[in-house]
Structure 1
Amino acid sequence: MGEIEIKSVESLNWIFYDMPTLKIDGVHIYRISLVEEAHRIREFQALLSLDEQIQANRYLKKQDQDRFTISKAALRIILSRYMDIAPKALLFDVDTGKKPFVKSNRTFFFNISHSSDWALIAVSNMEVGIDIEFVKPDFVASDIVQEYFSQDEISYLNSQHTATAFFKLWTRKEAFLKATGQGIGDHLKFTPSLTGVHQLNADLYGYQHNWKVLGFMLNSDYACAVATASDLIFFLEYWM
Protein backbone atom coordinates (compact mmCIF):
# COMPACT_ATOMS: atom_id res chain seq x y z
CA MET A 1 0.00 0.00 0.00
CA GLY A 2 1.39 3.39 -0.97
CA GLU A 3 1.18 6.75 0.72
CA ILE A 4 0.24 10.25 -0.34
CA GLU A 5 1.84 13.23 1.39
CA ILE A 6 -0.07 16.49 1.00
CA LYS A 7 1.51 19.86 1.68
CA SER A 8 0.88 23.48 0.78
CA VAL A 9 3.15 26.43 0.12
CA GLU A 10 2.13 30.01 0.84
CA SER A 11 4.50 31.93 -1.44
CA LEU A 12 6.01 31.18 -4.84
CA ASN A 13 9.11 32.44 -6.59
CA TRP A 14 8.39 32.28 -10.31
CA ILE A 15 11.60 32.48 -12.33
CA PHE A 16 12.20 32.84 -16.05
CA TYR A 17 14.46 30.37 -17.85
CA ASP A 18 14.31 30.33 -21.63
CA MET A 19 16.28 27.12 -22.24
CA PRO A 20 14.87 24.54 -19.84
CA THR A 21 16.83 21.48 -18.83
CA LEU A 22 14.79 18.85 -17.06
CA LYS A 23 16.53 18.04 -13.81
CA ILE A 24 16.41 14.48 -12.47
CA ASP A 25 13.30 13.84 -10.40
CA GLY A 26 12.03 17.29 -11.17
CA VAL A 27 8.73 18.85 -12.05
CA HIS A 28 8.72 22.07 -14.06
CA ILE A 29 5.57 24.15 -13.77
CA TYR A 30 4.77 26.90 -16.25
CA ARG A 31 2.09 29.54 -15.84
CA ILE A 32 0.51 31.06 -18.94
CA SER A 33 -1.65 34.16 -18.92
CA LEU A 34 -4.47 33.50 -21.36
CA VAL A 35 -5.19 37.23 -21.41
CA GLU A 36 -1.70 38.58 -22.02
CA GLU A 37 -1.08 36.07 -24.83
CA ALA A 38 -4.39 36.68 -26.62
CA HIS A 39 -2.78 39.03 -29.15
CA ARG A 40 -0.81 36.05 -30.53
CA ILE A 41 -3.90 33.99 -31.28
CA ARG A 42 -3.28 33.68 -35.04
CA GLU A 43 0.27 32.51 -34.39
CA PHE A 44 -1.01 29.92 -31.93
CA GLN A 45 -3.79 28.70 -34.21
CA ALA A 46 -1.20 27.82 -36.83
CA LEU A 47 0.56 25.48 -34.37
CA LEU A 48 -2.49 23.34 -33.62
CA SER A 49 -3.35 20.09 -35.33
CA LEU A 50 -6.58 19.80 -37.30
CA ASP A 51 -8.19 17.84 -34.45
CA GLU A 52 -7.19 20.52 -31.94
CA GLN A 53 -8.61 23.24 -34.18
CA ILE A 54 -11.87 21.31 -34.38
CA GLN A 55 -11.91 20.99 -30.59
CA ALA A 56 -11.37 24.72 -30.21
CA ASN A 57 -14.24 25.51 -32.56
CA ARG A 58 -16.62 23.41 -30.46
CA TYR A 59 -16.59 26.14 -27.83
CA LEU A 60 -19.48 28.53 -28.39
CA LYS A 61 -17.72 31.66 -27.13
CA LYS A 62 -14.70 33.05 -28.96
CA GLN A 63 -13.02 33.79 -25.64
CA ASP A 64 -13.21 30.10 -24.71
CA GLN A 65 -11.96 29.10 -28.16
CA ASP A 66 -8.96 31.39 -27.72
CA ARG A 67 -8.19 30.11 -24.22
CA PHE A 68 -8.17 26.53 -25.46
CA THR A 69 -5.99 27.48 -28.43
CA ILE A 70 -3.45 29.36 -26.31
CA SER A 71 -3.22 26.51 -23.80
CA LYS A 72 -2.63 23.85 -26.45
CA ALA A 73 -0.15 25.99 -28.36
CA ALA A 74 1.77 26.77 -25.17
CA LEU A 75 2.00 23.06 -24.42
CA ARG A 76 3.41 22.40 -27.89
CA ILE A 77 5.94 25.23 -27.59
CA ILE A 78 7.13 24.12 -24.14
CA LEU A 79 7.42 20.43 -25.03
CA SER A 80 9.22 21.27 -28.26
CA ARG A 81 12.04 22.88 -26.26
CA TYR A 82 12.59 19.72 -24.25
CA MET A 83 12.37 17.38 -27.22
CA ASP A 84 14.13 19.55 -29.80
CA ILE A 85 11.32 19.23 -32.32
CA ALA A 86 9.10 21.80 -34.03
CA PRO A 87 5.93 22.53 -32.01
CA LYS A 88 3.58 21.67 -34.88
CA ALA A 89 5.42 18.39 -35.54
CA LEU A 90 4.48 16.94 -32.15
CA LEU A 91 2.00 14.06 -32.42
CA PHE A 92 -0.12 13.26 -29.38
CA ASP A 93 -2.05 10.18 -28.35
CA VAL A 94 -3.76 8.99 -25.16
CA ASP A 95 -3.13 5.86 -23.11
CA THR A 96 -5.73 3.53 -21.59
CA GLY A 97 -6.25 6.01 -18.75
CA LYS A 98 -6.85 8.80 -21.28
CA LYS A 99 -3.59 10.50 -20.33
CA PRO A 100 -1.98 12.28 -23.28
CA PHE A 101 1.56 11.51 -24.38
CA VAL A 102 3.88 12.39 -27.25
CA LYS A 103 4.12 9.46 -29.65
CA SER A 104 7.81 9.92 -30.42
CA ASN A 105 8.95 10.32 -26.80
CA ARG A 106 7.52 8.47 -23.80
CA THR A 107 10.30 9.61 -21.42
CA PHE A 108 8.60 12.92 -20.71
CA PHE A 109 5.41 13.23 -18.71
CA PHE A 110 3.21 16.31 -18.82
CA ASN A 111 -0.15 17.61 -17.74
CA ILE A 112 -2.14 20.76 -18.44
CA SER A 113 -4.99 22.60 -16.77
CA HIS A 114 -6.65 25.92 -17.46
CA SER A 115 -9.33 27.95 -15.74
CA SER A 116 -10.61 31.41 -16.63
CA ASP A 117 -7.57 33.61 -17.38
CA TRP A 118 -4.73 31.22 -16.52
CA ALA A 119 -3.24 27.90 -17.58
CA LEU A 120 -0.67 25.70 -15.86
CA ILE A 121 1.55 23.17 -17.60
CA ALA A 122 3.67 20.61 -15.74
CA VAL A 123 6.55 18.72 -17.37
CA SER A 124 8.46 15.95 -15.62
CA ASN A 125 10.40 12.72 -15.98
CA MET A 126 7.82 11.01 -13.76
CA GLU A 127 4.04 10.78 -13.64
CA VAL A 128 2.53 14.19 -12.93
CA GLY A 129 -0.87 15.81 -12.63
CA ILE A 130 -1.77 19.47 -12.24
CA ASP A 131 -4.96 21.42 -11.67
CA ILE A 132 -5.97 25.07 -11.44
CA GLU A 133 -9.39 26.41 -10.53
CA PHE A 134 -10.75 29.94 -10.47
CA VAL A 135 -12.18 30.57 -7.01
CA LYS A 136 -15.77 31.61 -7.57
CA PRO A 137 -16.72 33.75 -4.53
CA ASP A 138 -20.41 32.84 -4.74
CA PHE A 139 -19.78 29.10 -5.23
CA VAL A 140 -22.06 26.96 -3.03
CA ALA A 141 -20.04 23.90 -2.04
CA SER A 142 -22.80 22.34 0.04
CA ASP A 143 -24.49 21.10 -3.13
CA ILE A 144 -21.75 18.56 -3.91
CA VAL A 145 -19.59 17.97 -0.83
CA GLN A 146 -21.52 14.89 0.29
CA GLU A 147 -20.85 13.20 -3.03
CA TYR A 148 -17.16 14.03 -3.46
CA PHE A 149 -15.66 14.56 0.01
CA SER A 150 -15.01 12.39 3.05
CA GLN A 151 -16.53 13.20 6.43
CA ASP A 152 -13.24 14.64 7.70
CA GLU A 153 -12.99 16.85 4.63
CA ILE A 154 -16.58 18.00 5.06
CA SER A 155 -15.88 18.88 8.69
CA TYR A 156 -12.87 20.91 7.60
CA LEU A 157 -14.86 22.75 4.93
CA ASN A 158 -17.65 23.49 7.40
CA SER A 159 -15.09 25.05 9.74
CA GLN A 160 -13.70 27.28 6.98
CA HIS A 161 -16.88 28.53 5.26
CA THR A 162 -14.96 29.79 2.23
CA ALA A 163 -14.93 28.98 -1.47
CA THR A 164 -11.13 29.13 -1.35
CA ALA A 165 -10.99 26.22 1.10
CA PHE A 166 -13.21 24.14 -1.18
CA PHE A 167 -11.13 24.74 -4.29
CA LYS A 168 -7.88 24.10 -2.43
CA LEU A 169 -9.09 20.59 -1.57
CA TRP A 170 -10.71 20.05 -4.97
CA THR A 171 -7.53 20.84 -6.91
CA ARG A 172 -5.54 18.42 -4.77
CA LYS A 173 -7.97 15.62 -5.60
CA GLU A 174 -7.99 16.44 -9.31
CA ALA A 175 -4.21 16.75 -9.58
CA PHE A 176 -3.70 13.34 -7.97
CA LEU A 177 -6.30 11.57 -10.11
CA LYS A 178 -4.84 13.16 -13.24
CA ALA A 179 -1.38 11.97 -12.21
CA THR A 180 -2.60 8.39 -11.76
CA GLY A 181 -4.53 8.55 -15.03
CA GLN A 182 -7.82 7.54 -13.46
CA GLY A 183 -9.88 10.55 -14.38
CA ILE A 184 -11.81 13.02 -12.29
CA GLY A 185 -14.90 10.85 -11.91
CA ASP A 186 -13.04 7.90 -10.40
CA HIS A 187 -12.75 7.55 -6.62
CA LEU A 188 -12.99 11.31 -6.04
CA LYS A 189 -14.63 10.90 -2.64
CA PHE A 190 -11.93 8.46 -1.52
CA THR A 191 -9.01 10.57 -2.74
CA PRO A 192 -7.34 12.36 0.21
CA SER A 193 -7.02 16.15 0.12
CA LEU A 194 -6.31 17.26 3.69
CA THR A 195 -2.77 18.27 4.64
CA GLY A 196 -0.80 15.33 6.03
CA VAL A 197 0.20 11.77 5.14
CA HIS A 198 -2.50 9.33 4.06
CA GLN A 199 -2.50 5.64 3.18
CA LEU A 200 -3.63 4.73 -0.33
CA ASN A 201 -5.78 1.75 -1.17
CA ALA A 202 -3.95 -0.14 -3.92
CA ASP A 203 -7.22 -1.76 -4.99
CA LEU A 204 -8.56 1.69 -5.86
CA TYR A 205 -5.52 3.39 -7.32
CA GLY A 206 -3.42 0.51 -8.60
CA TYR A 207 -0.15 2.14 -7.55
CA GLN A 208 2.16 0.74 -4.89
CA HIS A 209 4.59 3.67 -4.69
CA ASN A 210 4.28 6.94 -2.81
CA TRP A 211 3.00 10.29 -4.01
CA LYS A 212 3.32 13.93 -3.07
CA VAL A 213 0.74 16.63 -3.64
CA LEU A 214 1.66 20.30 -3.30
CA GLY A 215 -1.11 22.86 -3.06
CA PHE A 216 -0.54 26.52 -3.80
CA MET A 217 -2.36 29.71 -4.77
CA LEU A 218 -1.41 31.28 -8.09
CA ASN A 219 -2.87 34.47 -6.65
CA SER A 220 -5.83 35.18 -4.39
CA ASP A 221 -8.26 34.11 -7.14
CA TYR A 222 -6.78 30.76 -8.25
CA ALA A 223 -6.26 27.57 -6.26
CA CYS A 224 -3.77 25.07 -7.69
CA ALA A 225 -2.14 21.74 -6.96
CA VAL A 226 0.48 19.48 -8.49
CA ALA A 227 0.87 15.73 -7.85
CA THR A 228 3.74 13.43 -8.71
CA ALA A 229 5.26 10.11 -7.68
CA SER A 230 7.46 10.62 -4.64
CA ASP A 231 9.48 7.44 -4.26
CA LEU A 232 12.47 9.60 -5.27
CA ILE A 233 13.34 13.19 -4.34
CA PHE A 234 10.53 15.60 -5.15
CA PHE A 235 11.69 18.78 -6.90
CA LEU A 236 9.81 21.80 -8.19
CA GLU A 237 10.85 24.80 -10.24
CA TYR A 238 8.61 27.56 -11.43
CA TRP A 239 8.80 29.57 -14.60
CA MET A 240 7.11 32.76 -15.63
Structure 2
Amino acid sequence: MYQPHVFTLTEDGYRGPAPSWSTGVPSLWLVDTDRAAEAALLLAPKILDASELARVEKLAFPADRACYTAAHLALRLLLGARQGVAPEAVRLTRERCPSCDGPHGRPATGGGTHFSLSHTRGVALLAFAGAPVGVDVERVPEARVVQEVSAQLHPAEAAELAELPPEERPTAFARVWTRKEAYLKGEGTGLAGGLAREHVGTGPRPVGPPGWAVTDVAVPAGYAAAVAVRAAGRSPAEGDDRRK
Protein backbone atom coordinates (compact mmCIF):
# COMPACT_ATOMS: atom_id res chain seq x y z
CA MET A 1 0.00 0.00 0.00
CA TYR A 2 1.49 3.32 -1.07
CA GLN A 3 1.04 6.37 1.19
CA PRO A 4 0.71 9.61 -0.84
CA HIS A 5 1.78 13.07 0.21
CA VAL A 6 -1.07 15.35 1.28
CA PHE A 7 -1.43 18.44 -0.90
CA THR A 8 -2.69 21.56 0.90
CA LEU A 9 -4.03 24.40 -1.22
CA THR A 10 -4.11 27.86 0.35
CA GLU A 11 -5.24 31.27 -0.88
CA ASP A 12 -1.58 31.97 -1.71
CA GLY A 13 -1.25 28.72 -3.70
CA TYR A 14 1.27 26.09 -2.67
CA ARG A 15 4.58 26.43 -0.85
CA GLY A 16 5.57 22.80 -0.32
CA PRO A 17 8.25 20.60 -1.92
CA ALA A 18 8.34 19.85 -5.63
CA PRO A 19 7.59 16.28 -6.75
CA SER A 20 10.69 14.08 -6.75
CA TRP A 21 11.13 10.36 -7.32
CA SER A 22 13.56 7.48 -7.62
CA THR A 23 13.74 5.20 -10.64
CA GLY A 24 10.49 3.28 -10.97
CA VAL A 25 9.00 4.95 -7.87
CA PRO A 26 6.42 7.69 -8.61
CA SER A 27 5.64 10.66 -6.39
CA LEU A 28 1.97 10.66 -5.33
CA TRP A 29 -0.15 13.52 -3.96
CA LEU A 30 -3.63 13.37 -2.42
CA VAL A 31 -5.98 16.40 -2.49
CA ASP A 32 -9.06 16.88 -0.32
CA THR A 33 -11.00 18.82 -2.95
CA ASP A 34 -13.82 19.80 -0.59
CA ARG A 35 -11.38 21.40 1.85
CA ALA A 36 -9.57 23.12 -1.04
CA ALA A 37 -12.75 24.49 -2.65
CA GLU A 38 -12.66 28.02 -1.18
CA ALA A 39 -9.02 28.65 -2.04
CA ALA A 40 -9.50 27.06 -5.46
CA LEU A 41 -12.29 29.50 -6.29
CA LEU A 42 -9.94 32.43 -5.67
CA LEU A 43 -6.94 30.97 -7.51
CA ALA A 44 -8.61 29.48 -10.59
CA PRO A 45 -8.96 32.71 -12.67
CA LYS A 46 -5.25 33.47 -12.11
CA ILE A 47 -3.84 30.01 -12.89
CA LEU A 48 -6.11 27.83 -15.02
CA ASP A 49 -6.11 28.38 -18.78
CA ALA A 50 -9.14 29.21 -20.93
CA SER A 51 -9.90 25.58 -21.81
CA GLU A 52 -9.80 24.51 -18.15
CA LEU A 53 -12.04 27.37 -17.08
CA ALA A 54 -14.48 26.53 -19.88
CA ARG A 55 -14.56 22.92 -18.73
CA VAL A 56 -15.40 24.03 -15.20
CA GLU A 57 -18.35 26.08 -16.48
CA LYS A 58 -19.76 23.07 -18.33
CA LEU A 59 -19.96 20.94 -15.19
CA ALA A 60 -23.50 20.93 -13.84
CA PHE A 61 -22.91 20.32 -10.13
CA PRO A 62 -20.98 22.58 -7.72
CA ALA A 63 -19.22 19.58 -6.15
CA ASP A 64 -17.90 18.48 -9.55
CA ARG A 65 -16.76 22.02 -10.38
CA ALA A 66 -14.93 22.29 -7.05
CA CYS A 67 -13.29 18.89 -7.54
CA TYR A 68 -12.09 19.59 -11.09
CA THR A 69 -10.82 23.06 -10.16
CA ALA A 70 -8.84 21.94 -7.10
CA ALA A 71 -7.37 18.95 -8.94
CA HIS A 72 -6.16 20.99 -11.91
CA LEU A 73 -4.78 23.75 -9.70
CA ALA A 74 -2.80 21.13 -7.76
CA LEU A 75 -1.49 19.72 -11.04
CA ARG A 76 -0.29 23.10 -12.30
CA LEU A 77 1.18 24.13 -8.95
CA LEU A 78 3.12 20.87 -8.55
CA LEU A 79 4.33 20.83 -12.16
CA GLY A 80 5.34 24.47 -11.84
CA ALA A 81 7.30 23.71 -8.68
CA ARG A 82 9.00 20.80 -10.44
CA GLN A 83 9.86 22.81 -13.56
CA GLY A 84 10.69 26.07 -11.80
CA VAL A 85 8.02 28.09 -13.63
CA ALA A 86 4.82 29.86 -12.65
CA PRO A 87 1.83 27.45 -12.56
CA GLU A 88 -0.02 29.43 -15.22
CA ALA A 89 3.02 29.04 -17.52
CA VAL A 90 2.93 25.23 -17.43
CA ARG A 91 2.24 23.93 -20.93
CA LEU A 92 -0.10 20.95 -21.00
CA THR A 93 -0.45 18.85 -24.15
CA ARG A 94 -1.61 15.40 -25.28
CA GLU A 95 0.53 12.63 -26.72
CA ARG A 96 -0.64 10.67 -29.74
CA CYS A 97 -2.87 7.71 -28.89
CA PRO A 98 -0.89 4.45 -29.28
CA SER A 99 -4.00 2.67 -30.58
CA CYS A 100 -5.29 5.06 -33.25
CA ASP A 101 -2.65 7.84 -33.40
CA GLY A 102 -5.31 10.41 -32.49
CA PRO A 103 -4.51 13.48 -30.34
CA HIS A 104 -6.01 12.01 -27.17
CA GLY A 105 -3.19 9.97 -25.65
CA ARG A 106 -1.56 10.52 -22.27
CA PRO A 107 -1.43 14.10 -20.97
CA ALA A 108 2.09 15.49 -21.16
CA THR A 109 4.25 18.52 -20.48
CA GLY A 110 7.80 19.59 -21.19
CA GLY A 111 10.81 18.85 -19.02
CA GLY A 112 10.78 15.04 -18.93
CA THR A 113 8.09 14.77 -16.24
CA HIS A 114 5.44 12.10 -16.72
CA PHE A 115 2.24 12.63 -14.76
CA SER A 116 -1.30 11.38 -14.28
CA LEU A 117 -4.36 12.88 -12.61
CA SER A 118 -7.58 11.31 -11.37
CA HIS A 119 -10.43 12.80 -9.37
CA THR A 120 -13.83 11.89 -8.05
CA ARG A 121 -16.06 13.92 -5.76
CA GLY A 122 -14.11 14.83 -2.65
CA VAL A 123 -10.71 13.45 -3.65
CA ALA A 124 -8.04 13.96 -6.31
CA LEU A 125 -4.88 11.90 -6.77
CA LEU A 126 -1.83 12.95 -8.78
CA ALA A 127 1.25 10.96 -9.77
CA PHE A 128 4.59 12.20 -11.14
CA ALA A 129 7.44 10.04 -12.39
CA GLY A 130 10.40 9.80 -14.73
CA ALA A 131 8.60 7.10 -16.76
CA PRO A 132 5.03 6.67 -18.04
CA VAL A 133 2.64 6.54 -15.09
CA GLY A 134 -1.10 6.22 -14.54
CA VAL A 135 -3.24 6.76 -11.47
CA ASP A 136 -6.91 6.28 -10.63
CA VAL A 137 -9.14 6.96 -7.63
CA GLU A 138 -12.80 5.96 -7.38
CA ARG A 139 -15.56 5.68 -4.82
CA VAL A 140 -16.36 2.11 -3.77
CA PRO A 141 -19.46 1.34 -5.87
CA GLU A 142 -22.86 0.01 -4.89
CA ALA A 143 -23.48 -3.71 -5.19
CA ARG A 144 -25.70 -3.28 -8.26
CA VAL A 145 -22.83 -1.63 -10.18
CA VAL A 146 -20.57 -4.58 -9.40
CA GLN A 147 -23.24 -6.97 -10.65
CA GLU A 148 -23.74 -5.00 -13.86
CA VAL A 149 -20.07 -4.51 -14.79
CA SER A 150 -18.10 -7.47 -13.38
CA ALA A 151 -18.82 -9.69 -16.42
CA GLN A 152 -16.86 -7.21 -18.56
CA LEU A 153 -13.65 -7.79 -16.60
CA HIS A 154 -10.94 -10.32 -17.42
CA PRO A 155 -12.48 -13.81 -16.98
CA ALA A 156 -10.13 -14.58 -14.08
CA GLU A 157 -11.15 -11.36 -12.30
CA ALA A 158 -14.85 -12.02 -12.84
CA ALA A 159 -14.36 -15.50 -11.38
CA GLU A 160 -12.50 -14.09 -8.37
CA LEU A 161 -15.36 -11.69 -7.64
CA ALA A 162 -17.97 -14.43 -7.99
CA GLU A 163 -16.20 -16.51 -5.37
CA LEU A 164 -16.33 -13.74 -2.75
CA PRO A 165 -19.18 -13.19 -0.27
CA PRO A 166 -21.54 -10.51 -1.66
CA GLU A 167 -20.58 -7.96 1.02
CA GLU A 168 -16.88 -8.14 -0.01
CA ARG A 169 -17.42 -7.69 -3.74
CA PRO A 170 -17.74 -3.86 -3.93
CA THR A 171 -14.35 -3.30 -2.27
CA ALA A 172 -12.68 -5.97 -4.40
CA PHE A 173 -14.29 -4.55 -7.54
CA ALA A 174 -13.01 -1.05 -6.67
CA ARG A 175 -9.51 -2.48 -6.29
CA VAL A 176 -9.48 -4.16 -9.68
CA TRP A 177 -11.13 -1.22 -11.44
CA THR A 178 -8.62 1.35 -10.17
CA ARG A 179 -5.66 -0.94 -10.87
CA LYS A 180 -6.83 -1.57 -14.41
CA GLU A 181 -7.63 2.05 -15.19
CA ALA A 182 -4.31 3.23 -13.73
CA TYR A 183 -2.46 0.79 -15.98
CA LEU A 184 -4.48 1.70 -19.08
CA LYS A 185 -3.99 5.42 -18.42
CA GLY A 186 -0.28 4.83 -18.05
CA GLU A 187 -0.28 3.09 -21.41
CA GLY A 188 -2.22 5.98 -22.90
CA THR A 189 -5.06 3.84 -24.24
CA GLY A 190 -7.66 4.33 -21.51
CA LEU A 191 -10.72 2.08 -21.43
CA ALA A 192 -11.14 2.05 -25.21
CA GLY A 193 -9.62 -1.43 -25.39
CA GLY A 194 -12.14 -2.84 -22.91
CA LEU A 195 -11.91 -4.07 -19.33
CA ALA A 196 -11.00 -7.65 -20.24
CA ARG A 197 -7.43 -6.69 -21.21
CA GLU A 198 -4.77 -7.89 -18.79
CA HIS A 199 -5.30 -9.52 -15.42
CA VAL A 200 -4.50 -7.19 -12.51
CA GLY A 201 -6.36 -9.14 -9.83
CA THR A 202 -9.06 -8.37 -7.26
CA GLY A 203 -7.20 -9.55 -4.15
CA PRO A 204 -5.03 -7.67 -1.65
CA ARG A 205 -1.94 -7.86 -3.89
CA PRO A 206 -2.11 -6.51 -7.46
CA VAL A 207 -0.84 -8.45 -10.44
CA GLY A 208 1.35 -6.19 -12.58
CA PRO A 209 1.20 -6.61 -16.37
CA PRO A 210 4.63 -7.32 -17.93
CA GLY A 211 6.83 -4.23 -17.76
CA TRP A 212 4.55 -2.44 -15.29
CA ALA A 213 4.43 -2.18 -11.50
CA VAL A 214 0.92 -1.74 -10.10
CA THR A 215 0.38 -0.74 -6.46
CA ASP A 216 -2.66 0.17 -4.38
CA VAL A 217 -2.71 3.64 -2.81
CA ALA A 218 -3.92 4.59 0.67
CA VAL A 219 -6.96 6.89 0.36
CA PRO A 220 -9.86 7.83 2.68
CA ALA A 221 -12.47 5.25 3.63
CA GLY A 222 -15.07 4.71 0.93
CA TYR A 223 -12.55 5.17 -1.90
CA ALA A 224 -10.02 2.95 -3.67
CA ALA A 225 -6.96 3.99 -5.66
CA ALA A 226 -4.00 2.56 -7.54
CA VAL A 227 -0.91 3.68 -9.43
CA ALA A 228 0.87 1.97 -12.34
CA VAL A 229 4.36 2.91 -13.48
CA ARG A 230 6.40 1.50 -16.34
CA ALA A 231 9.42 0.10 -14.57
CA ALA A 232 11.69 -2.92 -14.55
CA GLY A 233 10.57 -5.42 -11.95
CA ARG A 234 10.09 -3.08 -8.99
CA SER A 235 6.88 -2.09 -7.24
CA PRO A 236 6.33 1.56 -6.23
CA ALA A 237 5.86 0.28 -2.66
CA GLU A 238 9.43 -1.00 -2.34
CA GLY A 239 12.66 0.72 -1.42
CA ASP A 240 12.67 4.37 -0.36
CA ASP A 241 8.99 5.08 -0.96
CA ARG A 242 6.29 6.34 1.40
CA ARG A 243 4.80 3.06 2.59
CA LYS A 244 1.96 3.08 5.04
Which whole-Å deviations, capped at 9, do the CAs of 1:129-188 have from their partners, x for residues lacking one?
0000011344431212222x1221111111222211111000010000000111122142
Is there any run of 5+ residues in structure 1 with no aligned partner, and where?
1-8, 201-209
Which whole-Å deviations, capped at 9, do the CAs of 1:14-67 have from their partners, x for residues lacking one?
578922362331310000000110111221342100011011111111221121
Sort the Cα spacing of 1:37 and 1:134 in 2 relative to 1 into closer, same or farther, 3 A.
Answer: same
Give the superposed CA RMSD: 2.4
Measure, in 1, the Cα distance between the counterparts of 2:78 and 2:62: 24
Corresponding residue to 1:152 among 129, 134, 156 = 156
Aligned sequence identity (%): 23
Measure, in 2, the Cα distance between the counterparts of 1:130 and 1:111: 6
Q: How does 1:123-134 map to 2 (within 5 A)?
A: 123-134=128-139
Which whole-Å deviations, capped at 9, do the CAs of 1:81-103 have from their partners, x for residues lacking one?
1100000011111011221111x
Q: Tell me which amino acid in the other structure corresponds to 1:216.
A: V
TM-score w.r.t. the length of structure 2 is: 0.81
Residue range with higher mean Cα deviation, 88-97 or 152-161: 152-161
Give the number of aligned pairs: 218
- With a CA cutoff of 8 Å and minimum separation of 6, indicate the structure with the bigger relative contact order: 1
Q: Would you say the 8 A contact 2:213–2:233 is kept in 1?
A: no
For 1:73, the equivalent position in structure 2 comes to: 73
Q: Would you say the 8 A contact 1:45–1:73 is kept in 2?
A: no
Q: Tell me which amino acid in the other structure corresponds to 1:22.
A: S
Measure, in 1, the Cα distance between the counterparts of 2:225 and 2:170: 13
Q: Tell me which amino acid in the other structure corresponds to 1:77.
A: L
Sort the Cα spacing of 1:94 and 1:196 in 2 relative to 1 into closer, same or farther, 3 A.
Answer: closer
What is the deviation of 1:231? 1.3
For 2:171, the equivalent position in structure 1 comes to: 164
Sort the Cα spacing of 1:125 and 1:141 in 2 relative to 1 into closer, same or farther, 3 A.
Answer: same
**Structure whose residues are more often strand by fraction:** 1
Residue range with higher mean Cα deviation, 93-102 or 18-27: 18-27
For 1:6, the equivalent position in structure 2 comes to: none
Sort the Cα spacing of 1:14 and 1:81 in 2 relative to 1 into closer, same or farther, 3 A.
Answer: closer
Q: What SS does the aligned partner of 2:191 have? A: coil
Q: Tell me which amino acid in the other structure corresponds to 2:135.
A: I
Matched, 1:28 2:32: no
For 1:140, the equivalent position in structure 2 comes to: 145
For 1:182, the equivalent position in structure 2 comes to: 189
What is the deviation of 1:13? 7.2
Q: Would you say the 8 A contact 1:30–1:238 is kept in 2?
A: no
Measure, in 2, the Cα distance between the counterparts of 1:73 and 1:111: 14
Q: Tell me which amino acid in the other structure corresponds to 2:231.
A: S
Measure, in 2, the Cα distance between the counterparts of 1:235 and 1:42: 35
Q: Would you say the 8 A contact 2:49–2:88 is kept in 1?
A: yes
TM-score w.r.t. the length of structure 1 is: 0.82
Residue range with higher mean Cα deviation, 61-70 or 169-178: 61-70
Sort the Cα spacing of 1:198 and 1:174 in 2 relative to 1 into closer, same or farther, 3 A.
Answer: closer
Q: Tell me which amino acid in the other structure corresponds to 2:31.
A: I
Matched, 1:94 2:101: no
Q: Would you say the 8 A contact 2:114–2:130 is kept in 1?
A: yes
Q: Tell me which amino acid in the other structure corresponds to 1:80.
A: G
